[in-house]
Every structure is written in structure tokens, then in C-alpha cells.
Chains A and B, each alone.
Chain A
Amino acid sequence: MGMAGGDEKLLVVRDLHKHFPTAAEPVEVLRGVSFALDAGEALAITGPSGSGKSTLLHLIGSLDRPTGGTIEIAGRDPFQLPEPELAWFRNRTIGFVFQHSYLLPQYTVLENVLVPSLAFPDRGRDGQSARAHAEELLARVGLGHRLHHRPAELSGGERQRAAVARALLNRPRLLLCDEPTGSLDRKAAAAVAALLFELHEAERTVLIAVTHSLELAAHFPRRCELAEGRCTELSAA
């Protein structure tokens, strides 16, 4: 996939490399991945297991550092930021939805959605507006009646919807989903996928999803296949 875009792009990935050291020899997972996305665009990343899909997503989400290449989000290289600023940047700019919901079992659904707002109590919104937004998001994902339930009391699909609401709490410009429907049955998967796109449309976020599911990938206008560390953009289905 060639390098695309210019300064106005929301996400620019340039010649991204990542290798992991092992006892034997380093394993090169990414070997020069480049692409760019405008605001409101959506991209599905597919590929066989071990092809580096999740690694790529983690690098874009600044959860891990690349071995080479750069990533720009809204014109900024997050890896140039000191750790607290990087955290703030991630908190404000990026939302994550993982295969497992990672809802904190000790908190209620509402509290789980509010978790991102608590990362910077001095810099973020006030508690009232965050709570109102969280309740609105939960209503939008169909969990308005489950605000005070514990995660253990939800179904898998409900948990994942709560995770989506959590990802959108701080109105991120980039929504990164790692196998968001991977642990769900077909019906629940379809519901979550629909929800993601609905919110993506509504919020004009850049949506990137790593998935094995061709069904989910088919929803995306752009799709790239990762193989042997390189990314190839496939024409939309």
C-alpha cells in the first residue's frame, strides 16, 4: 500500500518497522508499512494469524513503540511526546475497543465507561458532563438500563457495547478496534459492528479495525491485507 495523503491527513503511517528480540534472532513483524487516513475514513486490517495486525494497531495506538518509521496523528508524532503528554494525547485522541472488553469487574457499567475521564481529573471535563455523556453513550449502545450493573452481569455482546461506549467517551478522533467482534456470536457481532459504524458516522472518527472476520471487513470502505510484514490495500468489495 503506497503512501498517501498530505498534511491534512489525520493519520499518516510511514515505513513502519517492528521487530521483537528473541533468544534466537529478532523476529521482524512489520517491514515498512505505510498508509494514511483522512478524518471520517474507515480501514479494516486483515491478515493471517501472526501477520502483525494487532502489533500494527498497538503501534498506531501508541501502546508500543516502532523499531523504525513514523506515525503521525493529527500532525503530531506521539512518540516524540514525553510519557505524561503521550498519555494525555492518547486519552484525548484515541479510543480503543479490544477483542476482550477489559471491563473492570469491580466497577459498574457506568463507572467502567467513565474510567477514561478519570485519567486526568485536573485537565479533563468535569465529572457531571462526563457522566452525562457516558449515560448518553450507554443509551446509544442500548445499555441505558444497565448503568449500575456489574460486568459479570452482562452478556458478551453487552460487555463489548459497553467497551465501545467507553472508547468514545472522550470523543476520540481515532477509534482503534482489535478484533472487536472476535469473541462474539454472529448476531452480537453484527450488532456491535453496526454500532461501531453508526458511531463512526456520527462522530466522524477515523475507524481502524483489525479483524479476521471477512463479514466485518466487508463493511469497511478501505481494507488492507497484512502479510509477511507488508500491507497491501485491497479494492473495496
Chain B
Amino acid sequence: MHRALRSLTFFWRPSLAVALGAAVASTVLSGALLTGDSVRGSLRDLTLDRLGGIDLALVSERFFREELARDLVRRRAAAAAAPAIVLRGTAIHGGTRARAAGVALYGVDGRFAELFGAGLPALEGGSGGLFPPLIVNEALRRELGAEPGDDVLLSFARPGEIPRETLLGEKEADDVLAARRFTLVQVLPDRGLGRFGLAPHQAQPLNAFVPLAQLQAAAERAGRVNALFAVPPRGAGSVDLRGAVRLEDLGLRLVRSGAHLSLESAELFLPAAAAAASAAVARGLGAASSRVFTYLATRMQANGRRLPYSMVSGLSALPELKDGEILLNRWAADDLRVRPGDAVEMRYLVMAPGGGFRERAARFRLRGVLEMAGRGADRSLTPSFPGIENARDMAAWEPPFAVDYGAIRPQDERYWDAYGAAPKAFVSLPAAQRLWGTRFGNLTAVRFEGGDPARIEAALRRELPRRAALEAFGLSFRPVKREGLAAASGSTDFAGLFLAFSFFLILAAVLLVGLLFSLAVERRAGELGLLLAVGYPVRTVRRQLLAEGGLLTALGALAGLAGAAGYAWLMMAGLRSWWLPAVGTAHLSLHVELSTLLAGWCAAVFAVLLAVAWTVRRLAKLPPAALLAGSTAAAARQRPGRLARRLAAGTAAAALALLLCAALSAEASSPALFFGAGACLLAAGLAFSALWFHRPRPWRRAGLAAMAARNVAAHPGRSLLAIALVASACFVLVTVAANRRSAGGDVREGAGGFPLFAESAVPLVQDPGRAAGRLALGLSEADEAALRGVSILAFRAVPGDDVSCLNLYRPGRPRLLGVPAELARRGGFRFGRTLTKTENPWRLLAADLGPGVIPALADANSATWILKLAVGQDLAIVDESGRPVRLRLMGLLERSLFQSELLVSEANLLRHFPSQAGRSFFLIDAPPEKAAGVAKALEEGLGRFGFDVSATAARLSSYHAVEDTYLSTFQALGGFGLLLGTLGLGVALLRNLLERRGELAALRAFGFRRRRLAFMVVAENGFLVLLGVGVGTLAGLLAVAPHLAAAGGPFPWPSLLATLLAVVAAGFVSCAAAVWSTLAAPLLPVLKEEG
């Protein structure tokens, strides 16, 4: 090592050059890794910023007591807990009517602000205006163009307890939607509270904060919330809800009726988990339990007589009833004039797939009649039906379905007066569940009989919240901060990405170091020869050189680490500005981690040492005699082997054959064939160049040009290496440039031929694809006229993480779309690989893969790059009940509109996420000339639901913009690499010139002027650069010919030409610099030295 140091310090100039080369390699390599660090670090910062002090979040479809937050803190189950209402809605500027859809609406109080170490006094006090106060973030203010003091209308889905897609769920727009006017009092900057959001996404959310009490009032949920944000106690990872949760937090209630005690659900349908748990509790107390499913029959008829609107109960307590048998109470039996054994037909309504109702009929045989006492007149069997239970008489019913009031007779009113909603008929529980069961449940109550009702009630209130699986009731905290920080590791490995982008830059730097080291060592060829001559083993000489190279590399790479931070900073600046479409956020900053610097240093040293080792190995192979003579050429120049000739001929023939195939094939513009032909042409161009260099050149024509040509061929290996480097880089740059696309030819296929798509902030229970649905949604006749000839496919959606390249975070729970059967029938979209070959891959979604496995489709880009999932592989998720489910990837869509989500069949989606009511994603097929009118009609007609229509081309363009931006980045960094490569050519040239300086000095002595010699040398090397650029560019253009011919986006000629011209210019400038430095040397010392 000591000797190595002595040598390095003595030969400090070449050593410095090598160290600088290593520094460049280290700068780029470590800088690329730091870019990854910085993106990850920035995402972590964003996560911490948007969540403030919140570690855990519970956001439920169900509402629970606001007091739960206080109870948790009081019981020390949480260090802090803030109750909130979290809704999605639409904001409309009161004056300008400017609209912003997809607004995150938060009803909060001071406890929430405290989690951010801030206060929101503006919410606590009044607005000073007519309406309650509203705080928005800067992004929403911008969207609305609102200023403090302006009125803003917030529209959102009114939380409904009874599932909307059931008979008694509210569906009318006026029932579903709530709207309140607020006065804007404060605008938060887009950070901290202003950036608050639970979704791991770098996009700035549109946030609106209103007083919790005001939103509770607007949502008609006084004292109730649907979200808790919490900090766990010190040392605990989560908040234990058990003990604090009460029965009503689960949406359950206990109803006493005489000796009976019933457990019911506020949502009408009692969750199976609650039924089972309550039965177990009752059993423990010696009480019996039975299950009840009460439904509304629109009509019962027998013997030509009709009985309208009757409650019917399915009871487990009637085991003797067979599936087709029915019991009537005396009143009904008399009214219908039936006797046991008679047939009774029952009609009832069920939800139709499009959102309306369908009447069905069932036939029973009357098994018996119950007298009008006890079970025969038991009102408590009917749960609280909104619009019905409190009606004074039947004519005053206001249920969410059409009632034929004309069918209601006086005796029906009398029954109502006497018995209220007591069921008139009874069937077996299995029959009831078969007829009326829904995905939301198939029980309306569990009744407890026997034992002390008060004791049972107390036990149920105490035990049920403890025993029930709280997750099934939506009561579970998500470790949002931990998940967010984990997701901040990113869906895209930016370190890897920028390493790939910087590949040519790193390669060029490494080659440059190899050349510089080679240059430095070759000047000491005599020294090496001497060491070998005096008996140093080759191994020892190699080791010494490697030690020198290693030391230089280590020191250079160390110095390069300072540059790495600069390089990463530059990349961050690029991502914040020029390449913004790739990341979608300007909140990216430099993060430097020591371990990354160390890894970058190691990688750079390793890469550079490879180049050094290659040089050492090459030199150490030379005989000592040759080294003593100062020669570092490997061996006497030989004719190119048969292999080189065969390679040249073979690759040229292959290029022609592939072109012929492309011309003859049905797909005349087959990209793969053309790419293969281009690659073959590149190889052929290099092989022919090699042959040309080796061709003997008799002295036919004198002159500088001829001399230059001979000189180029003097070192065929070096010349070929130079050309190969430049040509390969140009080839890649051209092919990459061709892959850049703006909205182009693949838009229609990517969107399946749908020119428009829409998203609705409030899911639509009625299907806007059907005329009846549109009517129910309140679209006008004019809107209907505008929508004539338009087809709309509606998708159900389970909210989740965006799995497209637009999301920098690693998605945890992907957003799911339920594909309607219509799309599976219609087909369309372009598919890539599928698990099994099929004409219509949409049908794969219906495949039965066994329990717990759901067939799914995904966009190829999202699956490959974001989810890292291949066809046939599974993605594990958890369904609504907390059960693990595997999504098996059955096929990949190519460059589709569906890059943000995974697609499953609607049936499977409903099976595993039954509470997802309504449809919130829509594909709209409209003639191009009508598209604008259709969008306007739908947005105006459904604006209350936050219905936002966009062009599919725009969405595809935003996806393509990410790709294009990445490709631009690659082009830019590849261009830099190529520039550095041309500097390497300059170094190689300098090396040649140093070898030839005696020759050049002699030529000058013979009377050649410097300028002429400079021309000769620049011509030699300029020729190499031009040859490399020419071969690479031509081969690249051939490879991408189909892209050029296609009617897609414009080919980025200007940027490509600018890069190539910069390369050529850099090549000539570096040549000129090398030539100048050599020819500027005084003549005589050189001649003396050489002599």
C-alpha cells in the first residue's frame, strides 16, 4: 500500500484524473440511490405531515356515539381521541356556482385540531355570517375560487341506517342527499391540517372542515360520528375498543315487549355475528332465543280475495312449519276466507338489479291459524320500519317504495289501529330467508324468552360488545401512520428507476475511469516490464496496480459522494418541475441517508474496480519484453476471424429476413419484428465497421483524409469500442423516444371505445344506464333527450388505494371495481396475457376458483410495476367482514383506463363487500359529436351527487404522461451519459495522441502545419462519432418504424435531434481539446524524448 501511495502521489496528474472519473461514477450511482431515498423520505414527510399526531383511525360506514372518544380517553384506552364525521361530497361556490367534486368533508371539533398541535378557533366561534363556519384548504379554495366571507354549499350523502339497496332503504335523491350552506372563514395552507387525509397518495386532497355539531345536525346524526382519530397510550400499538364500546355503537338495540326481549339492528338487518353472539350470551343465562325475519308482503291473496300490505314473519320458533307452509292470524284468515290446506299466494317487492323494485310471488299452503293473541297479534315481531312505524294510519305510510293507497281498505286501517304492524302471516325462517334474504342480512331480530328479561338485557349490554367481532361492525382502528409510513417505501423503486435512467451515465463514467486508468498505467509500461523482468510475479504486479486503482477509486468515490447529494438534489428539482407529471407532487425534497451513501460508495467502487481490473488484467497479460519496449498493444494486428465475417453477414441477413417477415405477415407493422430487425442492423453495422477497420489499405491516395482513415483503422479494437458505445446509446435513445406517446391511437382501445367516464362522489343506487334509473335520479326530459343513443355502464366500487403509476405510495388495499355483467357480455378493451385462452377475457371474472379466491383483472402496467403481480398470482386482501380473501389475477389489460383499480365481477364484489351500496364509476359510450352535450347533461342532472364526467382520453393521457415523463428522464440522463461517453472518447483520443505524439511531432518537423494535423486527428475521431451516431440512429429508426408509421402521438424529433446533435458536438469539442493539448506541446522535447 505504501508503494501504491508513493506511485499515486508521484503520478498525481493521471491519478487525479482517474479519481475524478471514479468521483463522477460515484456521484451518479450514489445520487441515483439518494434519489430513491429522497422520494421515500419525502413520502414519509408527507405522511407525517398529513396525519399530524394521528396514529390510528377508525372510519366506519356505521355511526356510533361521539362519547366513545371520551370514554376511550377516560378509560385510558387511548392517549387522545378525536371524534369526527368523515364524508365525501361536493362543494359549490354560493356566488359563482363553481363546483368541486370529490371533496373530503370533515365534521370536527377542537380535539381534532389538537392532534395537529393546532387550534381551529374559527370553527369554534361563529362565522360572523348567516351560515355556520367553514374552513377549507388552499387546494379547495383554488378550485372554487372562493375567498373568506363567501358562501359555499356543501352537498353530501346523508348517512342512512337502512341499506339503500333494500326495500326500506331511502333512495330518492332528496332523501339520499343533504346540502348545507356554510360561510368560508379560513383557508388552511396545503400542509398539516390542510393536507390531512387517510389515503396514501401524494395528490393534494380537497379538504373542508366544519363544526362537528353542524355536520351532525345536517346529517341528522346528533351526538353520533363515524370516525375516530386516536393516539394510543404510551407503549401500546393500538387502542382497545372493548370495554368502551356499547351496544348502540354496534347499531344494535334491545326492545322490551312484555316478557320478550328482542335484539334488533338500527339497520333493520341484524348481522349474523350479533345474532350468534347474543344467542350464546342468552344460553349462558338459561334463556332461549329464536330468530325472526319480518318482511312486508305487498299483497296476499286466496280464493279471489286480496289482503294488501301485511307484515309477514319468518320464525325459527316455528320448526313445525315446512318450507311451503304458512300460518295466518285469525284476522287475515277470516279476511281471506281461508282454511287450513288452502293455497295462499303472497306478493312482495325485491330490489331489481338496476335499482328499482320487482314484484315476486310465492305460493304457500295454509297450515293453520293463530288466534289474535300472543304471536298472532305481536307488534314486537316487526322492527322499526321508517315511514311506516310511526304512521297514524296506513294511508299516512311514507315508505321508500310506491304504495298503492287505493288498495288499502277500511278494515286494513282498522287492523292498523288495533294491532299496528303486527304480522298477519308466519312462514318458516328458511323460507323467509330464501325469499327475502339480502346481502345485508337475513334476520330482523333475535328474541329471548324465558329467564329474567332485565338480567338478560343487562348481560347482553355488557357482553355483546365484548364478544362480538368489532371488525364486522366496522369498529376497528387502522394504524394509518404505520401503514402510511410503510406505503411511503413507494410503489416504484425510485432508486432502481434512477439507476436505470442513469445507466448510460454510470457506464460512461466507469468506461471513462477504465480509459483514464489505462492511460495512466500504459504510460508506465516500462515500469511494469521492469518489475516483471526482475522477477515480480504477474500476480504481484497485478495486485500493486489493483491497489493503486482501488485506492484511487476509493478516494474518488468518496469525493463523489458530495456530488451525489447534488445529483440527487438536481433529480428532485427535476421531479418537482420538468418531470412533475411523473410524481404529481412538488413536495419532494432531498434526503440523505448514510447507509445509502455507503451502499453507493461500495457499488461505485465495485463498478469502477471492475473497469480497473479489466485494464490491469489486459496489461498484465502482455509479455515483459513488449512492456519494456513501451508497447501496450495486445498483439500484432490480425485479420478478423471467420466469426466476425459470419457475424456481419448473419446479422445483416437476419435484419433483412425480419423485415421480409414483417412485410409479408398479416400484421405488416409488427413492432417486435421491426425491433428485432433494428437490433440486427445495429449488430451488423458494428460488425461491418470492424471488418472495414481490418481491411488492408494500400497506399493509393495520399492526403490527410487517407491518413486519417488509416489511423482510425490502426487501433480497430479501440475504434470499435468507441463506435459501439455511441451507437448503442443512440439506438436506445431513439427507441425510447419512439415509445413516448401523447394521447394517440391507442386511446379508443385503452378505453374500450368509451369516450367518457364519470365518477360520483355519492354512489348512485339507481342505475343511470337505464331510463327508469335516470328518472328516479331526477334527470329532466331535456337531459333524457341529450342521452338518447348513449349507453352507460355503471360499476360498483370499493374504495381503496390507487394502484396506478399516479400514486407514488405502495398501495395496501387496492380500490376494487365490480364489473357489471353487461361489460362482460359486451367485451372490448385490449388484453395482454390471460391465465386461460379465451375470446372474451371478461368472462374469466365469473370463474369459480373455490372459496376465498376471487378472479380479478388488472391493467398490465399497474400489475407489473405497482403491484408486482403476474398472471396467475394472488393478492391477499381482507373483505368487509375481516376475512382474508385472495384476488387471483386472471388477465392483464393493455394500457387501459383501469390502471387505478383491480377489477372483479360485480357478483363477487357484492358477496365480499355487501355494504357497498350504489355505483360510483361509469363508462359512457356516446357518439363523438354528442360527447360534450352528454357530459353537460349528466353533470348538470346529477351534479348533486358529485357526478363528474371526464374524457377517457384525458385519463389515459395522464397515465401516459407518467410514462412519457419517465422516458424523458431516461432520455435526458441517457443523453448526459452519451455526452460523458464522448468525453471518454476524448480521453481515448488523448491516449492515442500521446502514443502518436512522436509521429505527429515528426510530421510537424516535415512541415505539416498544426492546423492540418489537427484537422486530420479531428477528422479521425469525428468520423468515429458520426459513424456511431449514424449506425445507432439508423438501426433505432428501423426498430421503431411501426411507431413512426402509426397515427399515434407525434415523434419527439426536436428533443431527439437536439440530444444527438449535442453528442456529435461534444464529440468534436472533446476531440479538438485533446488535439489542441497535444499539438500545443513544443516540438523538440517530444522529438528528443521519442528519439
Contact = CB atoms under 8 A, between A and B. Distances in A.
B636 A22 contact: yes
A72 to B, nearest CB: 18
Interface string B510-549: 0000000000000000110111111111111000000000
Interface string B1-32: 00100110111000000000000000000000
B638 A21 contact: yes
Contacts of A170: 535
A65 B626 CA distance: 12
Contacts of B535: 87-92, 94, 116, 119-120, 170
B6 A63 contact: no
Contacts of A100: 526
A21 B635 CA distance: 8
Contact of B536 (A20, A96, A119): A119
B7 A91 contact: no
Contact of A64 (B3, B9, B623, B637): B623
B455 interface: no
Interface stretch (A41-49, A101-109, A189-197, A222-230): A101-109
Contact of A58 (B10, B625, B639, B696): B625
A119 B531 contact: yes
6 contacts: A63-B623, A88-B537, A96-B530, A102-B526, A106-B6, A119-B531
Contacts of A119: 531, 534-537, 540
A202 interface: no
B372 interface: no
B12 to A, nearest CB: 10
5 closest A-B pairs by CB: A91-B535, A106-B10, A87-B537, A58-B625, A102-B530
A94 B624 CA distance: 14
A29 B527 CA distance: 26
B538 A87 contact: yes
Among B526, B537, B636, B638, the one with the most A-chain Cβ atoms within 10 Å of its Cβ is B537
Interface string B352-364: 0000000000000
B interface bracket (residues with beta carbon within 8 Å of A): 20 to 34
Among B3, B11, B635, B637, the one with the most A-chain Cβ atoms within 10 Å of its Cβ is B3
Contacts of B694: 23
Nearest to A27: B636
B639 A63 contact: no
Contacts of A83: 537-539
A100 B531 CA distance: 14
A102 B534 CA distance: 11
Contact of B534 (A20, A23, A64, A116): A116
Given A22-B636, A102-B526, A63 B625 contact: yes
A115 interface: yes
B527 A102 contact: yes
A20 B636 contact: yes
Main secondary structure of the interface of B (DSSP, over half): helix
B628 A23 contact: no
Nearest to B539: A84
Given A21-B636, A23-B637, A102-B529, A63 B534 contact: no
Contacts of B534: 90-91, 95-96, 115-116, 119, 166-167
Given A106-B11, A107-B6, A119-B537, A64 B530 contact: no
Contact of A104 (B527, B533, B635, B636): B527
Contacts of A21: 635-636, 638
B127 to A, nearest CB: 83
Given A23-B637, A106-B7, A90 B533 contact: yes
B638 A23 contact: yes
A118 B541 CA distance: 11
Given A55-B625, A119-B534, 11 more contacts: A23-B637, A23-B638, A83-B538, A88-B537, A90-B533, A91-B534, A102-B530, A104-B530, A105-B10, A119-B531, A119-B535
Contacts of A167: 534
Among B9, B533, B538, the one with the most A-chain Cβ atoms within 10 Å of its Cβ is B533
Contacts of B9: 106
A180 interface: no
A214 to B, nearest CB: 22
Contacts of A116: 534-535
A63 B533 contact: yes
Nearest to A20: B636
Given A87-B536, A90-B533, A166-B534, A98 B638 contact: no
A157 interface: no
A61 B532 CA distance: 11
A65 B530 CA distance: 17
Nearest to A119: B536
Nearest to B533: A96
Contacts of B636: 20-23
Interface in B452-501: none
B424 to A, nearest CB: 107
Contacts of B526: 100, 102
Interface string B688-703: 0000001010000000
A199 to B, nearest CB: 16
A102 B638 contact: no
Contacts of A105: 10
